Each structure stands twice: as structure tokens, then as C-alpha cells.
Amino acid sequence: MNTAEIISCEPATGAEIWRGKACDVDDIVARARRAWPAWAAQPLSTRMELVRRFANEVRKESEKLATTIARETGKPMWEARAEVEQVVNKVEISIRAYAERTSQRKLDSALQGTMAVRHKPHGVLLVLGPYNYPAHLPNSHIVPALIAGNVVIFKPSEKAPASGELLARCFNRAGISAAVMQFAPGGPAEGQAFVAHDGIDGVLFTGSANTGITINRKLATRPDKLVALEMGGNNAMVVWDTPKLTDAAALIVQSAFATSGQRCTATRRLILKSTMYDAVIAEVKALADRIIVGAPFDEPAPFMGPVIDNAAADGLTESFLYLLSHGGRAIKHLVRLRQSLPFLSPAIIDTTAMKDRPDVELFGPILQVIRVEDFDEAIAEANNTRFGLAASLIGGTPQEYNKFWANARAGIVNWNRATVNPSHAAPVGGIGLSGNHRPTGYYAADYCAYPVASGEMEQPRAVIGVGLK
């Protein structure tokens, strides 16, 4: 019996929002394995209907779920409502994706019979969710997995169990049983036990590169287990020739500081053409100075809430000081707005002069600026990272964008668009330390079922034509 306790507190107030016991890993897995055959045997149309009912349950609970997300993550209420809307929208996207990406195919031949391609579910899939989007991002794995006929064990981040529990209840109230879609609260110990458990057929993970690498290493000798890793990024935005400075500044600020910089697709590095530098920085700083940082339900509504906890705020403060002391020049200082709570101001720092810029994902509102002289240098700087999630070009000609697209090493490459808010009607994923070539979004269907090729004839028919006495 597991007696470890999980406690979640509101970043904006420090108040406790959720408390519960960590799950019993063996019991959860055994329950899932018992439930899988009956769920996989359900007609696809039934599973699709049930996830549509789930969408309706989320609609009914939308305000409660948004409020819980806002309280537990600290994100503004307007943003939490947008996350709930993404949860609902994911259902129809996933149904379309499954039909397109895993469609049945048959090739008939009079003499050779039929060659058929159909898809099967893997079995019991573990979904490990992050805290920054505690409903939308795990849901992006869960819905495609259920449609394909897998059962799901959902372990939310220990920093966001309240949101995860409410999401799971919506599935269960829709008629997807608590054995088919299980809520499994726990901390790192439970996560590690699930990953290593023989009863788990696959791990669908969204989170940091360090944790993803640990999972990959743990399962290095288990090629039989599916592993889909959606990790972070040290994402670049290149700003080139454009007269639209106000629009460019808005895209930069949205990309760098939405969700207090706690998005895997957030712009971490702003790469500026030297001749554009002063004008762009003036616009960006003026806009960043206007950003309201506050609690989720404040009026007027804040653009940024706190980061997830004081440990994260302390780490970001130390990182900013490191950049400053190793050649960085502050354009806008990182300020701890309340000493006992994790509210940070948006920060901008020029790191052009740093000899060795750390290639890490600073998961918060810190934007590094790098000045370059020509377009080839800009592309090289954008690629100067082990990550490869998102990259964006603001300005430039169609020819320059074509060159940028062809040479940028990232799974999401945009033109005159933010790096954040990728469409889940398209693949969402990256290369390098950003993922393992298992993009989610529209392509989640690819890793939730495996193709089975079948040569089929109604009667056996064969002869051996050579090599016989």
C-alpha cells in the first residue's frame, strides 16, 4: 500500500489546492491489463462516440476545469479557458487523423488473393503529463490512444494533479470506465516504476529533455515498448527586413512570454539583423514593459501569471545572473516581484558577446537576444542548439523564407507567425533533444496503433515449381 502523499499548491497564493495518496503502481497496471481486451474489442465507432461524449462532458465542466487549471498552474483565466477549448477541439481532430493516418487498405489480385493493411492497438499505454498544460497536452496523447483501442494510465505531473483528476473524471463520466482511462497520481518514484513495469506496452511523454532522456535510457533494452517523447526546445526566432515593427514586436512578446515562458515552443533566442537591432529592441522592450504580471483572476486580466513554484523562480533568477556574469547585457532585468511567491517580470538579455552560450531550455520568461550580420549567420545561429522543436522567421523575402525553411533544423518552421500555439491539425514535434521522431498533434495516430500486413486467400493454393525430384 503506497502511503506517499502528493500535495499541490497554487503558485499565485501558496494555498493548497489538492492532496491525495500516490497510486499503487502494480494495482493500476493489473487493472489496466484486465480491461484492455474488452476495450480493444469494441467497434471503432463505439470508441469514437465515447470520446465525443467526453468532449461534451468537458463542455459541461468547462468553467470548473478552467478555474482549476488557472489556480493550479497560475496561468491567467483567459488562457486556462483557451486550454479547455483545445481539449474539446482535439477530439474531432483525432477522429479525422485516425481515419486518415491508419486507414484500412486492400489490394486484390485474382491469383495472389488479397493484401490487406489494418492497424492494432499496442495495449496499455502510460501517459505522463506536464504541468504547464495539464489538460491539453496529456489529452493530446490520451484521445488518440483511446480511439485506437489502447487503455490509458494517466499520471499527471505531481505539480498539477487536481487538473488531471478533473480531466480523468470527464472521461469516466462519458462512459469510458475508470479501468480503461485511469487517473494515477504520483511523483517521480511512481513515474519511474510505471516506465519500468513489464505490464506497460508504451510510454507517451511530454516534458523536459532531461526526463525524456532518462525514460529513453531506461527502455534502451526494451525495443518492444513504444516510446513517444515530446520534449522542450531552445527555440529561435529570426527577425529580418520588415517595416512591420509593431507586429514583429507583438509576435516576439507572445512567443517569449506567453504562459510566463513556460511553453516548450516558446522563443528563447531572438536573432536580429544588425541593422534592425535598435528599432526592434525598442519596440519589444516598450511592449514588454507594459505586460501585466498578476494572479489568474486579477482585474484587469494579466498577460503573465507566476511560474509554477518558488524553486523554478529561484532557478530562473540564478540563470539570469549567470548570463549577466558571463558576458550578457541586460536590456530588461528579471525581477522577483514578490519574494515569497514565484512572480517574475519578463526579462530580455543580449548574449551576443557570450563566448559559450548555454544550450539549455530556460523554462520561463527570459529572452536572449543575439545580433548577426547576414542571413547565413542567422540560420547558423538558429541551428546552434541540440534541440530542434520550433523556429520562426519574421520578415524577409519569400526566397529568404524558402532558404530558412530548407535549412532550419526544427519540426515546426513558421514565417511571420509566432513559435507558440502550433496547430494540432498538423504534426507537433521536433528533432534533436526535442523528440524522438514521434510527433504528436495530427500524427499522434501513427504511434497509437501499429500496422499489420496480411496476405489473405479464402482457400489455400500453392505449388512448388522448382527444386523438386
Mind listing the pLDDT tens digit for each residue in 447-465?
999 999 999 998 898 899 9
> At 110, is the pLDDT very low, low, confident or very high (cuts 50, 70, 90)?
low
**Which three-class secondary structure state does DSSP give residue 398?**
helix
- Give the DSSP H or E segment for 68: helix 62-73
What is the identity of the amino acid at 381?
A: E
**Residues of the chain above pLDDT 70, percent:** 99
Q: What is the pLDDT of residue 40?
A: 98
Residue 223 in any domain: the answer is: yes
Is the pLDDT score of 30 beyond 60? yes
Which of 23, 170, 264, 448 is flagged as catalytic? Answer: 264
90 and 169 share one domain: yes
Active-site annotation holds for 264: yes
187 and 75 share one domain: yes
Question: pLDDT tens-digit profile of 153-169?
Answer: 999 999 999 999 999 99
Question: pLDDT tens-digit profile of 234-269?
Answer: 999 999 999 999 999 999 999 999 999 999 999 999
* Helices 62-73 and 44-60: angle between axes, nearest 10 degrees: 70
203 and 80 share one domain: yes
Is the pLDDT score of 218 beyond 70? yes
Is the pLDDT score of 1 beyond 60? no
Q: Give the total number of structural domains in the chain.
A: 2
Name the residue with higher pLDDT: 275 or 113.
Answer: 275
Helix residue ranges, H only, 208-354: 209-218, 245-257, 277-289, 310-325
State which of 415, 447, 463 marks the end of a domain: 415
Residue 423 in any domain: the answer is: no
169 and 77 share one domain: yes
Residue 207 in any domain: the answer is: yes
288 and 160 share one domain: no
> At 210, is the pLDDT very low, low, confident or very high (cuts 50, 70, 90)?
very high
187 and 263 share one domain: no
191 and 265 share one domain: no
Which whole number is the average pLDDT over 120-147?
98
154 and 20 share one domain: yes
278 and 390 share one domain: yes
Strands (E), 41-111: 105-109
Give the integer Cα–Cα distance in Å for 256 and 250: 10
Contact 147, 47 (CB under 8 A): yes
182 and 143 share one domain: yes
The 3 state secondary structure assigned to 75-116 is CCHHHHHHHHHHHHHHHHHHHHHHHHHCCCEEEEECCCEEEE
239 and 217 share one domain: no
Give the integer Cα–Cα distance in Å for 187 and 332: 36
What domain range is 325 assigned to? 235-415
226 and 245 share one domain: no
Q: Length of the chain in residues, anyone?
A: 469
CATH number of the domain where residue 227 is located: 3.40.605.10
Q: What is the pLDDT of residue 59?
A: 98
Contact 165, 190 (CB under 8 A): no
* Residue 284 burial (CB count, 10 A): 27
Question: pLDDT tens-digit profile of 285-344?
Answer: 999 999 999 999 999 999 999 999 999 999 999 999 999 999 999 999 999 999 899 999
Which of 10, 61, 165, 230 is flagged as catalytic? Answer: 230
Active-site annotation holds for 230: yes
Residue 243 makes CB contacts below 8 A (sequence gap 6+) with none
> Residue 293's closest CA among 249, 330, 346, 349?
346
> Residue 245's closest CA among 290, 292, 281, 288?
281
**Residues of the chain above pLDDT 90, percent:** 96
Give the integer Cα–Cα distance in Å for 438 and 444: 8
Residue 464 in any domain: the answer is: no
